[in-house]
């Protein structure tokens, strides 16, 4: 896991690295917040103590701060209730390229139960030949769940990759959970298409 970088040498209270942990049906999830916003979501990596060690090792000097991480924690809890992690606050995507930002923006606008292919996502953002690049970008997604990279699968029906702890087993669990959440919210609605049509607007 790449560390989050505090801006300059400001003291922790003014903008260092903060983290918190939240329990979910999938295990403990970690969030890391830097001076510019949420910079990491770490999916379950064993017991709480093990996850906390991972967070501290990747972000030396980070401290647990419930207040600074409260929006991110609420977003993860919202995901557990609805399948959508909205309201996480500003995202610090670091040195993400314009292509990566376009990929992340498109995914952030999908709904629970939506499923896209790598090629379909590439076409949606106007880069129809960039399916492999899209896959590499998703493998570096710093904030899974908030940017739901697990919703992208192979065109042939396979799950594709998932570089987060838990691997493809967790990816399948997340997709199954979202499908059930979607059915519960609209029991009479037809299943979503593999290439859902949603409006996408880039800033």
C-beta of residue 104 within 8 angstroms of C-beta of residue 48: no
C-beta of residue 144 within 8 angstroms of C-beta of residue 108: no
Helix (H, G, I), strand (E, B), or coil: what is residue 33? strand
Query: What would the pLDDT profile of 123-175 be if each residue is shown by its tens digit?
Result: 999 999 999 999 999 999 999 999 999 999 998 778 888 888 888 999 999 99
* Catalytically active residues, by annotation: 149
pLDDT value at position 155?
A: 87
Q: Which residue has the tokens 């001076």?
A: 35
Residues 6+ apart with CB under 8 A from 168: 159, 161, 162
Which pTM does this prediction carry? 0.83
Please say whether the dihedral angle defined by the alpha carbons of residues 117, 119, 125 and 130, taken in this order, is positive or negative: positive
Distance CA 194, CA 115 (A): 5
- Kindly write down the DSSP assignment for every residue of 70-87, as one continuous string: HHHHHHHHHHHHHS----
Local confidence pLDDT in tens for the 203 residues of the chain: 555 654 432 333 445 899 999 999 999 999 999 999 999 999 987 899 999 999 999 999 999 999 999 999 999 999 999 999 989 999 999 889 999 999 999 999 999 999 999 999 999 999 999 999 999 999 999 999 999 999 999 987 788 888 888 889 999 999 999 999 888 876 555 444 433 322 222 22
List, in order of start, the domains of the chain with CATH numbers.
12-82 (3.30.160.70), 98-185 (1.10.10.10)
C-beta of residue 18 within 8 angstroms of C-beta of residue 64: yes
């Amino acid at each position: 896991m790449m560390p989050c970088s505090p801006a300059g040498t400001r003291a922790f209270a003014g903008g260092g690295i903060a983290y918190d942990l939240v329990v979910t049906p999938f295990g403990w999830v970690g969030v890391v917040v830097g001076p510019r916003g949420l910079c990491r979501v770490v999916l379950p990596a064993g017991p709480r103590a093990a996850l906390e060690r991972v967070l501290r090792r990747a972000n030396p000097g980070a401290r647990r701060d419930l207040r600074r991480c409260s929006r991110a924690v609420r977003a993860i809890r919202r995901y557990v209730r609805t399948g959508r992690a909205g309201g996480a606050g500003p995202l610090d995507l670091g040195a993400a390229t314009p292509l990566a930002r376009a990929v992340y923006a498109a995914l952030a606008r999908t709904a629970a139960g939506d499923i896209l292919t790598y090629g379909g996502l590439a076409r949606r953002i106007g880069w129809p030949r960039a399916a492999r690049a899209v896959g590499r970008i998703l493998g570096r997604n710093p904030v899974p769940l908030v940017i739901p990279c697990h919703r992208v699968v192979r065109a042939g029906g396979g799950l594709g990759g998932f570089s987060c702890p838990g691997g493809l087993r967790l990816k399948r669990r997340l997709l199954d959970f979202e499908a059930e959440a979607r059915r519960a919210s609209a029991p009479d609605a037809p299943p979503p298409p593999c290439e859902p049509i949603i409006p996408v607007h880039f800033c």
